[in-house]
Amino acid sequence: MGAWHGWYHVDGHTYGTWAPGDPRGWREKRHKKHVEGDYLNPPLPGTGDALHAYSHEQLKHTPVHLTPDQREVAGKALVEMLVHQDIELIVLSLDAIHYHLLGRFGNGQVRQRVGRAKKHAYFRLREQWPVQKVWQRLSNVTPITDRAHQLNVFDYIQRHKGKGAWVWTYRQGLHWQDPNTQDL
């Protein structure tokens, strides 16, 4: 099923913060094994403890938790690159471990375009902080089905501000950019 007018809800996590065996629930790669529960209805306590410990042992870097200053730098960089790619972005939130965005991706290629934005944010973060890795590899991409769904997702993402997230909406524009600079 295609997205309503090209709109998608995209979300993802920082590196190492939602690994297999997580007490909040998880999915096996390619759904090889059925796992009961999800973040709304977590699996029974202890279900994935051994797998979660193993997953963390396999990490090459420590899990990434963004500070409020890092959220702002990375959030602005994500917005800049998405807008630079002609994506009609209307809301983006970034907290310590995950991001959400709602945008119209004209010709598709949602994951690739979000990947470019994450790469841009990584380099912006490296200008000020010594970071090795910032993002989980893939994003979750959910097609928007209709106007009501779009409005619900917009409100849902915007509400993350109450949980400490850096939130940007189209109403704010790109006020932080120098109009004479085209460094993207």
Q: What is the residue-wise DSSP string for 98-113?
A: EEEEEEE-TT--HHHH
Report the CATH architecture of 4-13+64-172. 2-Layer Sandwich (3.30)
User: Could you state, in order of their start, the residue ranges of all structural domains in the chain?
Assistant: 4-13+64-172, 29-58
**Helix (H/G/I), strand (E/B), else coil: 9:** strand
pLDDT, one tens digit for every residue, the chain (184 residues): 579 999 999 999 998 776 666 666 656 666 566 667 666 677 677 776 676 566 666 667 788 899 999 999 999 999 999 999 999 999 999 999 999 999 999 878 999 999 999 999 999 999 999 988 999 888 999 999 999 999 999 999 999 999 999 999 999 888 776 655 555 5
DSSP 70: H
Distance separating alpha carbons of residues 17 and 23, to the nearest angstrom: 11
Torsional class of 144: left (φ above 0), alpha (ψ -120 to 50), beta (otherwise): beta
